[in-house]
Amino acid sequence: MRGVSGYFDAATATPLHPAARQALAAALEDGWADPDRLYREGRRARLLLDSAREAVAAEIGGRPDEVSFTPSGTVANHLAVLGALAARRRVGRHLVVSAVEHSTVLAAARRHEDDGGETTTVRVNPRGRVDPAAYAGVLRADTALASLQSGNHEVATLQPVGEVWAACRERGIPLHVDAAQTVGRLPSYEDWDLLTASARKWGGPAGVGVLAVRTGVRWRSPLPEDEHEAGRMPGPVSLPLVVAAAAALRARAETAPALARRQAALVERLRAELPRRIADVEVLGPDDPQDRLPHVVAFSCLYVAGEALATELDKAGFSVSSGSSCSSSALTPSHVLAAMGALTHGNVRVSLADDATEADVEQFLRALDPIVRELRQRSGASDL
């Protein structure tokens, strides 16, 4: 068996950064007390929490008092969307999202609609990118919130956040940026009003999300009142996990540019080699590396069930995810692939862990070809 080097699902969860492991152990020792208590143990926990908040704020281009920790990126997205909508209810009940947002943002949008609100979904081009002019074109006087991801979690497309933010700003509309795939990987941006992220995407532990609300941006919790996390997330945070998450992010920031360059080269190799070695494969997302996340590449193989492909790759030692839904009629295929007009079956997403090497990528390519051939042969689709 190959161990961690065949782990190609970092866009879901990145293996724990060594700095996080160390910080976690230290914080379990020193950070167990309630940081709101004024005695010595509480003050020690408070110092750890403050320092974690400062580290995260610095990395996302915000201020510490703008940053709240949540139990996951999912909750952060739900709260960002529903809280901003609640605070601007008097302005209107119109929400704008892109068609390729994370399912957690779209779930919050559906809740908004169930409550009588309205959502406009902005389409994307075949590479998965929204047109900023089209996005600006649907903003209205009663638009309470706009939401746009920084980079797409399935096909790696970077979105024109800066341009959309400028268009929103002109109209006084706050922009929520789901930055789960870029925080800790690409330089931080100033162009957001609400920002969300997830620590397990950057090598922190699962169980930590980030919700940042810019000073002056109106936001009202859709949950019962509670004083924790500046009133944005009820209940005490898991301090050891938060400390570990911040340590991973801090450690990662130093190496991020070099890592991104290395990963982009591996992705480039995959994008070039896949169509050369596999018949009838569509490589998804933008061709220009400047328009992509550094660590993610997705492709679809014609006439193959995505789940079968992922299962066979797992047997060969490669862990990937798939946006296909060929195994059950109850499930619908990836809304991202459908919005792009891409083939939804035979889909594989490779997202590289930090230690992925050229040899891993080469072995993956070698393993993939016979698997695709075998699956096509089984369904009589070899010569179609």
Partner 1 sequence: MSDLRIDVLGRLCPLPIIELAKRIDEVEVGETVTVLSDDPAAASDIPAWCRMRRHDYLGETAEERGTAYVVRRSR
* Helix, strand, or coil (residue 173): coil
- Nearest to partner 1 of 46, 129 (CB atom): 129
Q: Which of residues 341, 355, 366, 374 is near partner 1 by CB under 8 A?
A: 341
Helix (H) or strand (E) holding 118: strand 118-122
Residue 54: C-alpha distances to residues 60, 178, 201, 202, 253 (Å)? 10, 20, 19, 17, 14
Map the footprint of partner 1 across residues 256-285, applying CB under 8 A. Answer: 280, 282
Q: Which of residues 49, 86, 155, 337 is near partner 1 by CB under 8 A?
A: 337
Enumerate the H helices of the chain as residue ranges: 18-30, 40-60, 73-87, 103-114, 132-137, 161-170, 239-277, 306-315, 335-340, 358-378
Q: Which of residues 302, 316, 365, 367 is near partner 1 by CB under 8 A?
A: 302
Q: How far is the CB of 86 from partner 1 (least distance, A)?
A: 33
Measured between its terminal Cα atoms, the distance across the chain in Å is 34
Would you please indicate which residues are annotated as catalytic (active-site) residues? 326
Q: Is 357 in the site for partner 1 (CB under 8 A)?
A: no
Q: Which of residues 28, 303, 316, 317 is near partner 1 by CB under 8 A?
A: 303
CA torsion angle for 96, 100, 103, 107 (degrees, to 10)?
A: 20
- Nearest to partner 1 of 26, 302 (CB atom): 302
- Give the other-Cβ count within 10 Å of 331's Cβ: 10
Choices 47-55, 223-231, 297-305, 365-373; region in contact with partner 1 by CB under 8 A = 297-305
Q: What is the DSSP letter of 337?
A: H
Q: Which of residues 86, 305, 313, 356 is near partner 1 by CB under 8 A?
A: 305
Q: Which of residues 85, 130, 199, 342 is near partner 1 by CB under 8 A?
A: 342
Query: What tokens does 209 get?
Result: 């999300």
Q: How far is the CB of 110 from partner 1 (least distance, A)?
A: 17
Binding site for partner 1 (CB under 8 A): 280, 282, 302-305, 324-329, 331-333, 337-338, 341-346, 379-381, 384
